[in-house]
Amino acid sequence: MNREIGFFDVDCRELNAAGTGLGYRPRVEPIVPALEKLYARARELDAPEVFTTCCSGRMLREASLSEVLFVPMDPAQSGWTARVPAHRLFYLEKATCGVPAENYKQRTFDAFRYNRNAPRLFELLGARRWVVFGNGFDLCVNTTVRGLLGCGLAVHLIADVTVAAARGYDDCGTEENRRRVLEDLAGLGATVGTLAEFLEAGRP
């Protein structure tokens, strides 16, 4: 597995209705072609892909899909660590309250707040640079970038492969908030670019 770079897909995929594979969240349909280019690049580089599912989506459960390693929230569960070398796809479990307003109140969109195994996963994967993209920019993508930076990792955000968070939660989903979040993340050390720039750069 590539130890130079990893890919973090925030909330774009969920378990399909049949429970037999991965499907896309409806809100990301406009960026699916871009997502598939990023997944293809990750496969080409043999790079790890970590992903989460929206708190309102069909979340994976342990052993849902054999090709995906389920990383539970509970730090007392550590059996997954021995299986890391055998996988390239990793699912980081998120909390959910089952009600969107309560999810927002409890900040379940912040995977690093609730999944205490997250730092251990990134330590085991070893990649020092992470490419981030996905759904729920104002909340889910924002906190994912912050969580990775908090683990001491370098983060590159693919800004044009993101979908805004739903309106109705403070100023989420507005262009003003998007600009503010981008400025904040850059100030914390994240780099920001486009899909075209990333793909044209070649191997990391």
Q: pLDDT tens for residues 113-146?
A: 999 999 999 999 999 999 999 999 999 999 999 9
Domains of the chain: total: 1
The dihedral region occupied by 12, where left means phi > 0, alpha psi between -120 and 50, and beta the remainder, is alpha
H/E element, 91: strand 89-92
**Average pLDDT along the chain, 204 residues, taken 10 residues at a time:** 92 96 97 98 97 96 95 97 98 94 93 97 97 97 98 98 90 94 98 97 68
Cα 76 vs. chain centroid, distance in angstroms? 23
Cα 199 → chain centroid: 19
- The pLDDT assigned to 203 comes to 58
Q: Which residue, among 84, 24, 97, has the nearest Cα to 56 in the 3D structure? A: 97
| Domain, as residue range, for 151 | 5-200
Residue 204: per-residue pLDDT: 56
Q: Which residue, chain included where needed, has tokens 């496969």?
A: 43
The reported pLDDT for the residue numbered 167 is 85
| CATH code, domain carrying 126 | 3.40.50.850
Backbone conformation region of residue 32, classed left if phi is above 0, alpha if psi is from -120 to 50, else beta: alpha
The predicted pLDDT at position 2 comes to 77
pLDDT recorded at residue 14: 97
pLDDT of residue 117: 98
